[in-house]
Amino acid sequence: MESVNLSGKVVVITGASSGIGKAIAKYLASQGVIVSLGARRMDKLIELQDQITIEGGKAAFFLTDVTQKESVDALIKHTLEIFGKVDVIINNAGVMLLSKLEELRYEEWDAMISTNLKGMLYGIGAALPYFKARKEGHFINISSLSGHRVDPTSAVYSATKYAVRALSEGLRQEVKLYNIRSTIISPGIIQSELTQAITDAYSKEMVKGMESFAISADAVAHAVAYAISQPQDVDISEMIIRPTAQPY
């Protein structure tokens, strides 16, 4: 069973301006993949597109807020207009705002639900009609190790990431008739900007203690490439990517 050549595939990536999304975009582009970059920070998108282009890759970007359905729809439409197809969508955009429930950080709860859960649903909704009509496509949804376990301060974040896994599995079961694949990738502690958004002092200190063994986001990028490169009749349903040193 030979792997599929990635060159020429068109991959849409949300949350592409930093961290895991950026690493995925750069690595896939280096393998000949055409990447369509969605994120909220225009300056970061321009910078990433320039880096990819200078290194011989091909990329486009579209300012995207995954909490807004119309914005995600527009990202897919923009990609189709420029590149003529979409082979894969990677629902990567996410926020991790850890705190104990007793802190009652309602705005942060809403932000995680809107970005991590609804943002992924909007990505699915934007690409699914096209994939169904084409009888081919691949969803890659980024969950987390926190989608497999819950810790103090992670209750809401974990809830959204458990939901990502549940929705992805339901999606897989529903779309196999259309020759569509669905992959869940659950990273452990990865070097990224995700922890910088934490505002709760206790949670921030707790996470800081684990960052010493964080691994490069490139590890997730390689896992994504592996899933995409499988023959059409092979569906890599789920992967956990974590540091060897991570105890849980």
Annotated catalytic sites, by residue?
A: 157
146: Cβ–Cβ under 8 A, 6 or more apart, which residues? 96, 154, 157, 158, 161
Distance CA 235, CA 183 (A): 7
C-alpha separations of 30 from 25, 52, 156, 225 in Å: 9, 8, 36, 11
> Quick one: which of 26, 73, 75, 92 has its CA closest to 54?
26
Distance separating alpha carbons of residues 17 and 176, to the nearest angstrom = 31
Q: Which two tokens stand for residue 9?
A: 């595939």
Contact 57, 48 (CB under 8 A): no
Strand blocks (E) in 40-170: 58-63, 88-91, 137-142
Give the closest residue to 164 by CA, choosing from 128, 122, 109. 122
| CB neighbour burial string for 76-102, b if at least 16 within 10 angstroms, e if fewer | bebbbeebeebbbbbbbbbbbbbbeee
**CA 78, CA 129: separation in Å to the nearest integer?**
15
- CA–CA dist 48, 60 (Å, integer): 10
Count of positions (residues) in the chain = 248
